[in-house]
């Protein structure tokens, strides 16, 4: 220990030996071997201490996430939505989307698959789930227009994440319509509920807004 640079007091503490006893023993060894002090490592010869390792971020166990998802589905009778204003619901949607990716890549255990299967069509490949999501976004679009009197535009000053997402969604519907890939029922729904949805991204004209409000009120 002494040759490696430890002080007499450090050696005494580590070995649980009286300080004076350690000091006398070292001095005795130095008299027997005069080269001992010269071979002792001084402080700057010692290797630098290893940098402290950053602790890994805490990850919520899979089972805890599943319990939260199960309670949500039982309470709401649906799966969490991406565009929900509730942050907890958005986090559950993000987690469930990650599980779909794990399942597709074959990285999910059979037990986890069984547990998720008890909730319903969680894999997101069934038409019903996609239709539910489309209708949910459509409803949010109607609510946004009713509140603001205009179409969403992500480049507006102060645009929220919801407005930006709705803007991208409506542009996607326009692109599908131009390519002839938008389902007839979806186009009919948009034509009926959002006048001029496929023409511009500007604010709705007063007449179009009135028609929209009448449509919403009639529901």
pLDDT of residue 127: 41
Indicate the domain borders of the chain. Answer: 8-44, 62-117, 127-217
pLDDT of residue 19: 84
Pairwise CA distance, residues 116 & 69, whole Å: 9
CA 121, chain centre distance (Å): 22
Query: Per-residue pLDDT tens for 81-96?
Result: 777 778 898 899 899 9
Lowest mean pLDDT, pick from 27-31, 182-186, 190-194: 27-31
* CB contact burial 95-121 (16+ within 10 A = b; e otherwise): bbeebeeebeeeebeeebeebbeeeee
Report residue 200's pLDDT band, with 50, 70 and 90 as the boundaries.
Answer: low
pLDDT of residue 210: 55
Calculate helix-pair angle for 184-193, 161-178, nearest 10 degrees. 120
Lowest mean pLDDT, pick from 11-20, 121-130, 136-145, 192-201: 121-130
Share of the chain above pLDDT 70, in %: 80
DSSP state of 211: H
Mean pLDDT of the region 174-179: 91
Query: Per-residue pLDDT tens for 112-169?
Result: 999 999 988 887 654 446 777 788 889 989 999 888 888 888 888 888 878 888 888 8
Report residue 198's pLDDT band, with 50, 70 and 90 as the boundaries.
Answer: confident
pLDDT of residue 188: 92
For the chain, give the mean pLDDT. 80
Residue 67 in this model has a pLDDT that exceeds 90? yes
CB atoms within 10 A of CB 140: 19
């Amino acid at each position: 220990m002494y040759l490696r640079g430890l002080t007499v007091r450090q050696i005494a503490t580590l070995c649980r030996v009286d300080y004076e006893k350690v000091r006398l023993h070292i001095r005795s060894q130095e008299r027997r071997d005069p080269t001992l002090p010269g071979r002792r490592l001084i402080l700057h010869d010692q290797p630098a201490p290893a940098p402290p390792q950053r602790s890994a971020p805490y990850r919520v166990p899979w089972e805890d996430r599943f319990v939260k998802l199960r309670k949500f589905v039982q309470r709401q009778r649906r799966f969490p939505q991406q565009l929900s204003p509730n942050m907890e619901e958005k986090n559950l949607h993000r987690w469930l989307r990650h599980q779909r990716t794990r399942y597709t890549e074959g990285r999910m255990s059979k037990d986890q698959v069984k547990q998720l299967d008890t909730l319903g069509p969680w894999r997101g490949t069934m038409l019903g789930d996609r239709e539910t999501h489309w209708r949910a976004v459509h409803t949010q679009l109607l609510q946004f227009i009713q509140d603001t009197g205009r179409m969403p535009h992500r480049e507006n000053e102060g645009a929220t994440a919801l407005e930006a997402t709705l803007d991208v969604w409506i542009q996607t519907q326009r692109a599908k319509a131009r390519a002839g890939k938008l389902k007839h029922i979806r186009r009919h729904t948009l034509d009926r509920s959002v006048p001029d949805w496929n023409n511009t991204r500007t604010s709705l004209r007063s007449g179009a807004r009135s028609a929209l409000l009448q449509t919403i009120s009639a529901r």
